[in-house]
Amino acid sequence: MGIGSALKRAFTKPYATVHPTGVEALLGRSAIVIDVRESSEWRAGRAPKARHIPLDQLAVRMGEIPRGRPVITVCRSGMRSARAAGLLVQQGHEVFNLAGGMRAWARAGLPVTANGGRAGQIV
């Protein structure tokens, strides 16, 4: 193996990236959205139909994530969800990390909801 291919493998993400506008197509494939932010962030605003599993609980709650369905990981900016994506790939899931996180989601004009179905905000 040459140095070029070794470097490429070392820096290649084991998961895909999806932009907010591409989420709808994945949801059409029965994807699930896992929001790994802290509880206060989650309560303030989230993507509709997202499931909340904070990053620090992901390892012990892995069994809650169905097999055979694409998984979209999301956080505020995309960093924590990238770590979550790596963990999920190790467990055999097909994973897409939301580029730019909930900030990008909101900038794209996609809905952000809070408890009770009211409009939410990204904190």
End-to-end CA distance of the chain: give it in Å, rounded.
46
CB atoms within 10 A of CB 75: 24
Please give the pLDDT value at position 64: 96
Return averaged pLDDT per consecutive 10 residues of the chain, 123 residues in all: 55 85 94 97 95 97 95 97 96 96 96 90 90
Give the separation between CA 11 and CA 9, rounded to whole angstroms.
6
Give the separation between CA 62 and CA 101, rounded to whole angstroms.
21
Give the CB-side neighbour count of residue 5, counting CA atoms within 13 A: 2
The DSSP string of 2-58 is -HHHHHHHHH--SSEEE-GGGHHHHHTTT-EEEE-S-HHHHHH-B-TT-EE--GGGT
Please give the pLDDT value at position 11: 53
Q: What is the CA radius of gyration of the chain?
A: 15
109: its two tokens: 């004009």
Q: Which of 33, 34, 53, 75 is catalytic?
A: 75
Please give the pLDDT value at position 117: 83
Please give the pLDDT value at position 54: 98
Give the separation between CA 30 and CA 49, rounded to whole angstroms.
12
- All structural domains of the chain, each given as residue ranges with its CATH number in brackets, are 29-111 (3.40.250.10)
Q: Is residue 66 within 8 Å of residue 32, measured between CB atoms?
A: yes
Please give the pLDDT value at position 116: 85
Please give the pLDDT value at position 68: 94
**Residue 11 annotated as catalytic:** no
